[in-house]
Chain A
């Protein structure tokens, strides 16, 4: 069983160190049924193939604005199309990193497109019988989490 949690953590660290230039600190993956990240913006991207799943980037507003601002090199004060595109692109890139790591284990996946959802008291869920974990990250602009729900075929 490949260390999928580590692939997610590594892919995220890679994206942030090469594209966003914010120091982030991963925590232990959360695997409880009721574990979640306090957030009101989530970018999700579907994964298909030998591993079927959904990767989600969960951000509270402050972190979404801070991360987008760092990516664009300017202050961002409200959730707008730039934030949607920035967080969506993070989901896309982390998923891309996961794809490369899985390919080295002969696990082939394809990515769908990121979708960003903005909302209050929003819950996401997968289906029964699906593995799930969240890697929480701390950063100077706020905490966020990367969640993966998946089934390995």
Chain B
């Protein structure tokens, strides 16, 4: 597949559009993309798998406070704890962004399908990425905290 770093600007645009359009939040890239994330604390991650001619995974990692703010905005009512509504909202964001990445890759001629989204949450966890994969972590800032979009793709 080659280097996919040229789709990073489009992933950034897609993230901003999803937040502006669906979550009513303005978000911005915060710093340069990296290829490592480290230990994640007091957070919830939404993830979706990419399957087909090129395999991969997209994850969005939110600190709890930001996940609550996002869900509150989605539902139009106050959410105070990480519950099923938050899991659904975070999973849905991963799903929407995954859909955008799928379109970007399909435009390049790849045949990609999305898996079911799922979420991981906890006090402390680490994603151990397979070193054979291309891994990109893009940091963002939102009004209620910073978050990361992580994309792993088979080269």
Q: Judge whether B118 and A47 touch: CB under 8 Å.
A: no
Contact A44:B51 (CB < 8 A) given known A115-B127, A117-B128, A127-B88:
no
Q: Judge whether A116 and B122 touch: CB under 8 Å.
A: no
| B residues near A109, Cβ cutoff 8 Å | 51
Q: Judge whether A116 and B127 touch: CB under 8 Å.
A: yes
Q: Judge whether A54 and B49 touch: CB under 8 Å.
A: yes
For the complex formed, measure the closest distance between the CB of A146 and the CB atoms of chain B, giving whole angstroms.
15
For residue B15, CB closer than 8 A to chain A, the reply is no
Q: Judge whether B116 and A130 touch: CB under 8 Å.
A: yes
From 96 to 144 in chain B, residues with beta carbon under 8 angstroms from any chain A beta carbon are: 113-131, 133
Q: Judge whether B128 and A118 touch: CB under 8 Å.
A: yes
Query: When chains A and B are docked, how far (Å) is the Cα of A141 from the Cα of B94?
Result: 35
Q: Judge whether B125 and A120 touch: CB under 8 Å.
A: yes
For the complex formed, measure the closest distance between the CB of B34 and the CB atoms of chain A, giving whole angstroms.
18
Query: When chains A and B are docked, how far (Å) is the Cα of A123 from the Cα of B81?
Result: 14
For residue A110, CB closer than 8 A to chain B, the reply is yes
Which of A17-25, A68-76, A81-89 interfaces with chain B? A81-89
For residue A48, CB closer than 8 A to chain B, the reply is yes
Q: Judge whether A118 and B123 touch: CB under 8 Å.
A: no
- Per-residue CB proximity of A82-107 to B under 8 Å, as 1/0? 00110010000000000000000000
Contact A149:B130 (CB < 8 A) given known A47-B49, A128-B84:
no
Tell me the dominant secondary structure on chain B's binding face: strand
For B116, give its contact among A52, A85, A121, A122 (CB under 8 Å). A52
For residue A49, CB closer than 8 A to chain B, the reply is yes
For the complex formed, measure the closest distance between the CB of B120 and the CB atoms of chain A, giving whole angstroms.
5
For residue B28, CB closer than 8 A to chain A, the reply is no
Q: Judge whether A123 and B122 touch: CB under 8 Å.
A: yes
Chain A minimum-CB-distance residue to B133: A113
Chain A minimum-CB-distance residue to B126: A118
Query: When chains A and B are docked, how far (Å) is the Cα of A121 from the Cα of B57?
Result: 23
Q: Judge whether A46 and B48 touch: CB under 8 Å.
A: yes
Query: When chains A and B are docked, how far (Å) is the Cα of A46 from the Cα of B102?
Result: 14
For residue A45, CB closer than 8 A to chain B, the reply is yes
For residue B91, CB closer than 8 A to chain A, the reply is yes
- Per-residue CB proximity of B25-67 to A under 8 Å, as 1/0? 0000000000000000000000111111001110100000000
Apart from A47-B49, A48-B115, list 7 A-B contacts with CB within 8 A: A48-B50, A81-B131, A110-B51, A122-B122, A123-B120, A125-B121, A150-B116
Query: Which B residues fall within an 8 A CB radius of A?
Result: 47-52, 55-57, 59, 84, 87-88, 91-92, 113-131, 133, 152, 154
